[in-house]
Amino acid sequence: MKRTLRFAAAASVMLLFVLQLSAQGPGGGRGFQMTEDDIKENAKNTAESLKLSDEQAKKVLAIDMEFYNKMQIERQKMMNAGGPPADGDREAMRARMVKMRDDRNAKYEEVLTPDQYKQFTETQEQRRNEMRQQREQQQLNPDGQSEERPERGRGRG
């Protein structure tokens, strides 16, 4: 079970990473990209949904900002190398992403109570399932013009 959760979480992190890059398209436009404000808002929402103390909320924000900054560094490295990695480099990128995500989750586990951490992991699984459903919908409707697709993120709509 724990291995499955790790794999699913790694897949979701990679999916977000790849979606950010693919949103730029061949012309190199900005597309959708998380900002520090988005990270702060997500941390605030996490604090509210898990009913975190002020101390826990500060620690969660710090963990999220650290993770965000590491992801930005990885993204910049990839862009400096000319875009998404070749097939041989994908596994190395995946391994880095898995390690970063595991490190973040270990920090979360230290800060949260067992019940809060369980709720956190369940929420993450629910989000992965939603992303999977959106991806399947996009495959069925490749032009991306689905009326059922919820508006999410900055610059979309």
Q: What does the pLDDT look like over 34-55, one tens digit per residue?
A: 889 999 999 999 999 999 999 9
Q: What is the rounded distance in angstroms from the CA atom of residue 135 to the CA atom of residue 139?
A: 6
> Is residue 144 a part of any domain in this protein?
no
> Is residue 89 a part of any domain in this protein?
yes
Name the domain count of the chain.
1
> Is residue 5 a part of any domain in this protein?
no
Mean pLDDT of the chain: 76
> Is residue 8 a part of any domain in this protein?
no
- Domain of residue 88, residue span: 34-136
Q: Stretch 52-81: mean pLDDT, rounded? A: 90
pTM of the prediction? Answer: 0.63
> Is residue 61 a part of any domain in this protein?
yes
> Is residue 81 a part of any domain in this protein?
yes
Q: What is the pLDDT of residue 26?
A: 39
Tokens of 91: 């596994």
Q: At what angle do helices 2-22 and 114-140 cross, to 10 degrees?
A: 50
> Is residue 27 a part of any domain in this protein?
no
Q: What is the rounded distance in angstroms from the CA atom of residue 64 to the CA atom of residue 112?
A: 14
